[in-house]
Structure 1
C-alpha cells in the first residue's frame, strides 16, 4: 500500500473508483480490529485504511500489503535494500522505451484477495503518468522486481511469484543479497503453464533483451554514478 505524504492528509484514504464501494465502507473496515472485516480483507479495503493506527499509532498502515487475504506489515529495510531499489528503478526508467516507465513501491491489484506492493514495477507509461493511481492492474505491468530481505524471503521466493505468473505478468526479477552485492535472478513466464522459468542469474552486470534492452552495472548502482 502506498500513502500520500501531504501534511493535510485525510483521515481515510481516497477511494479510486465507484466500483470499490462494493466492499467494506470506510466506517466499518476497522470495526472489528484486530480481526478482519466481515468476509475478510479485500484489495479495495486498502484504499480505505487510515494512515494512522486504530489507537492513533503514527503511520501504522503506511507499509502494508494484502497477500492471499492477509494483511502483511512490511518491516523497515536495510540500506542495501534502499540502495538497490533506487539504483535499479532509476536505470530501468532511464532505459525504458517511451511506452513504459519504472516506479517503486506501487500496489498491484491482482484480484479480490491479492494486493501486493512490489519493490519495483515496469508498467505502461499511461498508467505511470496518472498521479491519482494507488495501484496498477496486472495487464498494465511488464516486469516486477522484488528485493529479498530476511523477513520477505519466503514471500519473494515462494508465495508471490506463482501469483504474479498466474496473473500474466511476463517477467519477474528476484534480487538477492550476496555479500552486499546484488544478484539478479531473471524469470520469464511460460504462457502454456502460467509459471515462471529461470532464464539467467546475473552477477556484476545485468544484460537482457526483454522486456526491452537493458544493461545495468550491478556493482555500481549509485544514482550519482548515472
Structure 2
C-alpha cells in the first residue's frame, strides 16, 4: 500500500547580503514579484491592493494624461533610483519627456521626475507618509502628492507638496477633497468625486 505524497512549496527566498541589497541586486535578482521596491537596502513586496487604490490611481492617471503638456510623460509603477540602496516605485510619475529612452526601460533617475504620487495602502502607510516623501525630497523631486482615503464616502483626499530648495523638504501646498485644481507642475483640474462612477 503506497503512502500519500505531499509536495512542499518550493519557494526559495533570496538571502540578503550583510549590508542589505543594492539597486544592482534589485535589477539582477531573478523571479522577484512584480513591483518589488528597494527601501534602505531591503526588498519590499507589494500586498494585494484595495479597490480604493486602483480607482484612485486610475482617476489621477487619467486626469494627468488629459492635462499633461507635451514636454512631460506620465508613467505608473516604475522604479526611481534614488541612491545605491533605494529604488522605490511611486504609484504615478510625471517625467521629463526626454527621460523616456525606450520601451525596455526599467528605471528613472530623480532628475527625470517632476511629480511623484503615492496612494496610501494599509500595508504601506508608514513608507508612504514618512519614509518615501523624505527620500523623494532629499533626491530633489520637486513635487509630491500623497493620496489617502477620507470622509464618509471613502473619496480620495490629495495632499499636494512642493520642494523647498533651501531646506530640501516638502511644504504642504494644499489638501484637495472634491476637486484637485493646481497650477504646478502644470495646470491640472481633476474631479475627485468621479470615483463614485468608476
TM-score between both structures, scaled by the size of structure 1:
0.77
Correspondence for 2:24: 44
Unaligned runs of 5+ in 1: 1-31, 52-59
Instruction: Tell me the secondary structure at the aligned position of residue 152 of structure 1.
Output: helix
Aligned residue runs from structure 1 range 1-226, under 5 A: 33-37=13-17, 39-51=19-31, 60-128=32-100, 130-178=102-150, 179-221=153-195
Distance between the aligned counterparts of 1:186 and 1:107, measured in 2? 21
Instruction: Tell me the secondary structure at the aligned position of residue 86 of structure 2.
Output: coil
TM-score between both structures, scaled by the size of structure 2:
0.88
The change in CA–CA distance for 1:48 and 1:191 in structure 2 (over 3 A counts) is same
Provide the aligned length of Structure 1 versus Structure 2: 185
Distance between the aligned counterparts of 1:210 and 1:187, measured in 2? 10
Which one has a bigger Cα radius of gyration? 2
Q: Which runs of 4+ in 1 moved over 4 A?
A: 221-224
The change in CA–CA distance for 1:125 and 1:154 in structure 2 (over 3 A counts) is same
How far did 1:79 drift? 1.2
How far did 1:223 drift? 9.2
Distance between the aligned counterparts of 2:114 and 2:197, measured in 1? 23
Distance between the aligned counterparts of 2:49 and 2:41, measured in 1? 23
Correspondence for 2:9: none
Distance between the aligned counterparts of 1:131 and 1:63, measured in 2? 17
How far did 1:165 drift? 0.2
How far did 1:129 drift? 5.9
Deviations 1:33-77 (A, max 9, x none): 5421354200121211222xxxxxxxx522310001111111010
Correspondence for 1:15: none
Distance between the aligned counterparts of 1:156 and 1:149, measured in 2? 8
